[in-house]
Amino acid sequence: MSTIVVKHEDRTAELESGATAIQALKALEAVRGQIVAARVDGDEWDLDRPVPDGATIDPIYADTEDGRAILRHSVAHLMAQAVTDLFPGAKWAIGPPVENGFYYDFDVETPFTPDDLERIEARMSELMKERQAFVREELSKDEALELFADQPYKREVIERVAAGGAEEDAVAATTADAEVRGGEPVFTVYRNMRSEDDEAWVDLCRGPHIPSSDRVPAFKLLRTAGAYWRGREDQPMLQRIYGTAWESKKALDAHLEMLEEARKRDHRKLGRELELVHFPEELGSGLAIFLPKGALVRQQMEDWIRAEVIARGYEPVYTPHVAREDLWRISGHLENYGELMFPGMELDDGSAYRMKPMNCPFHILAYKSRTRSYRDLPLRLAELGTVYRFEKSGVVNGMLRARGFTQDDSHIFCRADQIVDEVVGCIEFARDLYQAFGLGEPSRVAVSTRPEGKSVGTDEQWERAEDALKRACEASGYDYVVDEGEGAFYGPKIDIHARDAIGREWQLTTIQVDFTLPDRFEMSYIGDDGEPHQPFMVHRALFGSIERFFAVMLESFNGAFPTWLAPLQVAVVPVAADFVDYGLEVAAALEERGIRVHVDDSDDTLGNKIRKAKTSKTPYALVVGSDEAEARTVAVNPYAGDRRRAVPLDDFVDEIATEVADRRTAVPAAP
């Protein structure tokens, strides 16, 4: 009898050859909870798949990020099986796990309806009760093409993977595994089987999956939408079904509750109700107008960042919104970013122009306006620069993903020995910004490395830049994760995330090290040796974009901005017309200290006036009547907090002026 030895942490076990991952984990006493798969020598592995001799094995639990992804991918397969059962002739495309859920795309005659989702859910529940096993199988390219002879989208994926296009095609990369053996690709498929004699439903997939369909603790189908195949408008429009799956009914219920709360807090809904922003159809998708109240909030954001960049040694610049196409050819944007640039405009000088998707080439030209010395470095240039990106209509999402937006953009030109310190400064700047605007400490810091396919620069340059970013994270005291292949085409980056009041995580700040653009633009400085040297370039946007950060704040605060940010900080509410004069006196005292205040002198009832202030989420309503006018006091009715009567006017003015000056912002608590 042949045997194998497997390892977990400091334990080893000897098993019969052919032992599965779950058998190995049990022998190693590594089962501590709800396991969905294993990690074998770093690779995700089905629990019923035999493990090799000498393998190191770790469990993947259902309540981890990787475990949930495997669970959700498995449920996506069951959903596709249910759809093909209920809608004969349906073609199925792709069904990957995504953040907090999954989706699957189908080619069907008519769009799905809410009633269809209920039927699909019911059929999925039936399939789960059948305890269908997820059985892995390996096929050659020809076998895979024959198996999916009537599924054009699967055949396209097979052909693309076989041709080596998986690195550039997320569709192919996430839906098929093609290990090359003997020069030929070997594809993996998974069959949903009730028994060995069963005519199993089968899907092209890299896996792994949960052992069987009855291992799904909780799931819910959420909505449908149209989606172009491979995200391209020249491809067929498919019907996408979104769903979610969790390791327990409790976790699912918590997520559904969060989704309902998020729906109530949608920045487009709140922006309309509170008269902050406007999304007119005439303007076009992904473009917004800040109304006066929203503009006041934005102005506070911009004033804060302008003051901070000056205090931290940055110098302001202003740059145009368009430039000749030649500039974008030099920078590499036309080659590597052209699909996200708006089409060119040919002017009467015979040159083609493009609206800018980024500000960096303009700041480089500002740097090159004169000869620079090593004594000039680091040179930190800052701008609130509006950029334009040709986002597809399917991904535009209000101000969270827009086609025109303003970045608090800065570029730092420095020597190699200054990179780490400059990146540390950017990280600490981001931390201070998150604190000031009520988002607390960063929730996730990620270093994104060189992307597959489109990128420029040498391996040595990328390694040096990635190392600098990692050392900066460590020097800042932050633990970080590595997001493999998520860097920009011109260099690696740090993405800093924040968590909002209902527990959602948002990627906001980006910091990038760039060695490519200085080379492309032949940038230089004169070193202390009298010779020219090439500077490094650090890109950073702390808000990310003003619009996106505004939307995140609006949703996190549910429209109730802290006093220093609120468009209207105080509503003065006279009890009757006789006390309007005293109300105006109260307003004048507040305005003298820079407080934004309004006197409601309408004929409405007192109750309706207070409700109006509450509905508009004004931080303070001050009720004034005969007692207040006589004693020169106010009755304080805050949006959140306890009411107070007979507060001396001068005391309240001092209180709110201090609150605004200190920019007091309660950090939203996670649920």
Nearest in space to 58 (alpha carbons), one of 5, 18, 11, 8: 8
Catalytic annotation, pick one of 407, 418, 461, 512: 407
Q: What's the CA gap between 557 and 156, in Å, rounded?
A: 46
Q: Is 512 a known active-site residue?
A: no
CA–CA distance, 340 with 390 (Å, rounded to integer): 5
Q: How much is the pLDDT for 182?
A: 60
Q: Name the active-site residue from 539, 548, 609, 617.
A: 539
| Check whether domain 570-661 has CATH 3.40.50.800, yes or no | yes
The rounded distance, in Å, linking the Cα atoms of 192 and 78 is: 8
Cβ-Cβ contacts under 8 Å for 487 (sequence gap 6 or more): 448, 449, 450, 451, 455, 493, 512
584 Cβ contact list (under 8 Å, min separation 6): 599
* Residue ranges per structural domain of the chain: 3-61, 66-254, 272-556, 570-661
DSSP string, 450-519: PPSSS--S-HHHHHHHHHHHHHHHHHTT---EEETT-SBTTB-EEEEEEE-TTS-EEEEEEEEEESHHHH
Distance between CA atoms of residues 537 and 411, nearest Å: 7
Question: What is the distance between the terminal CA atoms of the chain, rounded to a whole angstrom?
Answer: 55
pLDDT in the model for residue 392:
82
Global confidence as pTM: 0.86
Peptide bond into 343 cis (omega under 30): no
Catalytic residue among 46, 105, 408, 409: 409
Exactly one of 220, 298, 333, 493 is catalytic; which is it? 493
CATH of region 3-61:
3.10.20.30
Is 266 one of the annotated active-site residues of the chain? no
Catalytic residue at 411?
yes
Give per-10-residue mean pLDDT for the chain (671 aa).
85 92 92 92 94 94 95 96 95 92 95 96 95 93 94 93 60 51 81 74 93 95 92 88 97 95 96 96 93 97 96 97 94 87 86 94 97 97 96 86 95 95 96 93 92 78 89 93 85 93 93 91 96 96 96 96 96 95 97 96 92 95 95 95 94 96 66 34
> Any bridge partners for residue 290, and if so which?
277
CA distance 38 to 60: 5
The DSSP secondary structure of 292-356, one letter per residue, reads HHHHHHHHHHHHHHHHHHHHTT-EE----SEEEHHHHHHHTHHHHSGGGSPPPEE-TTS-EEEE-
Identify whether 360 is a catalytic site residue.
Answer: yes
Identified catalytic residue from 68, 411, 504, 548: 411
Catalytic annotation on 569? no
Token reading at 664: 């007091």
pLDDT value of residue 168: 42
Q: 66-254, what's its fold?
A: Threonyl-tRNA Synthetase; Chain A, domain 2 (3.30.980)
**Helix boundaries (H) for 97-212:** 114-129, 141-147, 152-162, 170-175
* 495 Cβ contact list (under 8 Å, min separation 6): 444, 445, 446, 448, 483, 486, 507, 509, 510
Residue that the structure tokens 């076998």 belong to: 143
- pLDDT number for residue 232: 77
Considering 205, 360, 426, 473, which one is annotated as catalytic?
Answer: 360
State which H helix or E strand residue 646 sits in.
strand 644-648
Architecture of domain 272-556 in CATH? 2-Layer Sandwich (3.30)
- The residue from 354, 389, 504, 609 that is catalytic is 389
